[in-house]
Chain A
Amino acid sequence: MDTTFFMPPSYLDQSPAVAERFARLRARPVVMEVRSLTKRFPTTGGMTTALSDVSFQVHRREFMCVIGPSGCGKSTLVRILAGLETPSSGSVQVDGAEVRGPGADRGMVFQGYTLFPWLTVKKNVMFGPMQRGLGESAAEVEAKQWLALVGLEKFADHFPVQLSGGMKQRVAIARALANNPRILLMDEPFGALDAQTRAQMQHYLLQIWKNVDVTIVFITHDLDEAIYLSDRILVLKAHPGEVREMIEVPVPRPRLPAQFGGLEFAATKARLEELIHPKTEAKLDELPMIRLAQAGDDVE
């Protein structure tokens, strides 16, 4: 008789296929190397440390999510990676070259879309290629290919103001990819979208990532989103922002929405919750007992 009890799997248990995939991933060359990054801001009460000694590596064609509670400095981190802010100490290297400011090798997609409102969709996508010296017609050919990839060829001559949020963000992704960046940095890109559009966009993004040779670093505060999308999840803790853990997501690829209920998924999510909201329940108990609803039956 089989005497084994049912044990929930740990997030550390990887199926042989997944373990093999991670072995291959680790064998790939390192695209971005972050070494003991620290960022301090002057504030009224002295200096605040936003990031403290953050180190990690991103391998080629990896999809990495950065997650953490608010105030953990994940936005600061991605802005430093993009070169929009300078670190107080530490370094960021892309393909072995030190990052010293914004550059076309690191594309970025912002939460607020940041499309150029005076340019049509097509011209927005042409912006990067033309900056690197491509002629208008060559840039247009390239732009059309990228718009086809995100399924927006029909809207090439629309202005951004005429598009919905999800479409704007697809244009922003096409615009960033048109520069053939080594790394695509995404700062909560789907944060402003409604749940349905967001799910669609996650699916789109995985398709794009599959078809394009690009490495993605994706900031989010949504645990499901992080698990659904990424190979590895970098978990930060707040005050100061430090690396808590680097999790290898044991969910097999290709990812499907059905896996949201899967065992690997649940185990990973449980671990993330443990890391990010360890004291939530205790805090609820400490709430003062005021204004509790009397008509509890009405809402069951």
Chain B
Amino acid sequence: MRDLFAIRKELPPAWNRILGVAAFALPLLVWCVVSYVPAVWHPLIKIDKPGGVSWFSAGLLVDKPVFAMESARAVAAGKARPTGEPANPVFLPAPDQVARALYTAFTTPPRLEGEQWLHQSLWESIKTIFYGFAISSLIGVPLGVLCGSYAFWARLTEPFVDFVRYMPAPAFGALAVAVLGIYDAPKVAIIVIGTLFQQILVVSNTVRKVDPALLEAAQTLGASRRSLLLHVIVPSSLPDLYNDMRILLGWAWTYLIVAEVVGVSSGITFFINQQAKYRMFENVYAAILIIGFIGLGTDQVLGFLGRRIFPWKDPRPSRFRRFVLELFTTPRTLEAAPAHEKPVA
């Protein structure tokens, strides 16, 4: 038991598995208890039969004190007592409702003409992210590499970039709409503004971490400056840049939600807002969860690809992949797996 809390020690595989499951199971358990055990919270009464209270109707949610007061008043007036059962507010749907909504949100047709299906909203969001991130990377990565390699470009670029990156991207919303119209362009612009300036600094920092000994070795092998940049700095920092991109892509999702309310509201944010207006909060939760799944999914796919693209770099599987592997394999097969990566004599 003491070993579980040893500083900087790997956990036994069994505990790795247990804690990994618990990381998701505990929040879910809290959610279930709050949803299914009326004694825990349930501050409202969901009306079943309105009885003698004129403004009650079946399905209405009222505060417990209000319900008590109205039913006492109805009984005093000799009318029928209203009935109902404890309920949570509408913004906290139960896990089973959300689980069902994960499926039904896709199958429910849009309520109004011109509204989009969930999958259309998602696709639109993904396109916005893609364009925003691609444009940002096309500028940010080369510029960051230049800044990380040449003091000249760093000095000319970084003070200004440092200044701009403190300006919140959403603050440019009104400006973006004025310049670029109300449709997709300003949304892409917000993502670019939000990502680009961070990207330049992150990339240049990563490039600066290239081992100077490798640069010296290349110089003693006769490498020119151009060659140092193209054949040493770039290939050496590619795996770390690739990981930077994975992290920055996560930021781009954050800016997406802001970007999509700029101009004509669109994409997954519009879907979420509409569902909230219809008070279909299980759909809201479902949509947010789907964003989480897409994010985690892309990250894992990119991580998986990264290990294929850069076989010379840290060959261990990611934490998540290891977790999944551990769930379905015995510890022994997992240890046997990376044997080919050990040094040969």
Residue positions of A touching B, CB distance < 8 A: 82-84, 101-104, 106-108, 110, 112, 114, 116-119, 127-128, 131-132, 155, 158-164, 167, 175-176, 179, 185
CB distance from A173 to the nearest CB of B (A): 12
- Is B222 a contact of A128 with CB atoms below 8 Å? yes
Alpha-carbon separation in the docked complex, A102 to B228 (Å): 13
Contact across chains for A179 and B221 when beta carbons are under 8 A apart: yes
> Which positions 220-239 of chain B face chain A at CB distance < 8 Å?
220-224, 227, 231-232, 235-236, 238
**B217 in the interface, Cβ–Cβ < 8 Å?**
yes
A162 cross-chain contacts in B, Cβ below 8 A: 341-344
B220 contacts A118, C-beta separation under 8 Å: no
B30 within 8 A of A: no
Separation in Å of the A159 CB from the closest CB of chain B? 4
A161 close to B222 (CB less than 8 A): no
Q: Which B residues are in CB contact (< 8 Å) with A179? A: 221-222
- Known A-B contacts A110-B217, A116-B232; A164 and B222 likewise in contact (beta carbons under 8 Å): no
Residues of B within 8 A of A128 (CB): 221-222
Does B218 reach chain A (CB closer than 8 Å)?
yes
Chain B residues contacting A164 (CB-CB under 8 Å) are 343-345
Verify A158–B344 contact, CB threshold 8 A.
Answer: yes
Q: Is B112 an interface residue (CB 8 A)?
A: no
- Complex formed: what's the CA distance from A167 to B313 in Å? 19
Inter-chain contacts of A167 with B (CB < 8 A): 344-345
The total of chain B residues at the interface (CB under 8 A) is 28
B138 at the interface (CB under 8 A from A): no
Interface residue ranges, B against A (CB under 8 Å): 211, 213-214, 216-224, 227, 231-232, 235-236, 238, 310-313, 315, 341-345
> Known: A84-B219, A112-B213. Contact between A118 and B344, CB under 8 A?
no
Name 12 extra pairs, CB < 8 A, besides A108-B216, A116-B232, A127-B221.
A103-B222, A107-B220, A107-B221, A108-B220, A112-B213, A117-B236, A127-B218, A127-B223, A131-B222, A155-B344, A160-B312, A167-B344
Cα–Cα distance between A162 and B345 once the two chains are bound (Å): 9
Q: What are some 28 contacts across the A-B interface (CB < 8 A)?
A: A82-B216, A83-B220, A102-B220, A104-B220, A104-B221, A104-B222, A108-B216, A108-B220, A114-B214, A114-B217, A116-B235, A117-B236, A118-B236, A118-B312, A127-B218, A127-B221, A128-B222, A131-B222, A159-B312, A161-B312, A161-B341, A161-B343, A162-B344, A163-B343, A163-B344, A164-B343, A164-B345, A179-B221
Residues of B within 8 A of A101 (CB): 219
B219 to A102, Cβ gap below 8 A? Answer: yes
A112 proximity list for chain B (CB < 8 A): 213
A294–B105 alpha-carbon span in the complex (Å): 81
With both beta carbons as reference points, the residue of chain A lying nearest to B221 in the complex is identified as A128
| Complexed CA–CA distance, A182 and B227 (Å) | 22
A116 to B214, CA, bound (A): 7
CB < 8 Å: which of A83, A114, A118, A155 contacts B238? Answer: A118
A82 x B220 contact (CB < 8 A): yes
Shortest CB-to-CB span from A200 to chain B, Å, is: 12
B218 CB to nearest A CB, Å:
7
- Report chain B residues within 8 Å CB of A104: 220-222
| B99 CB to nearest chain A CB (Å) | 45
Which chain B residues lie closer than 8 Å to A175 at the CB level?
221
Contact A108 B217 (CB under 8 A): yes
Kindly identify which residue among A83, A116, A163 contacts B236, using a CB–CB cutoff of 8 Å.
A116
**Cβ contact of B313, chosen from A106, A117, A158, A176, cutoff 8 A:** A117
Q: Report yes or no: B216 in contact with A176, Cβ–Cβ below 8 A.
A: no
Contact partners of A161 in chain B: CB under 8 A: 312, 315, 341, 343
Tell whether, in the assembled complex, residue A176 and residue B344 are in contact, meaning their CB atoms are under 8 Å apart.
Answer: no
Task: List the B side residues contacting A155 at CB < 8 Å.
Answer: 344
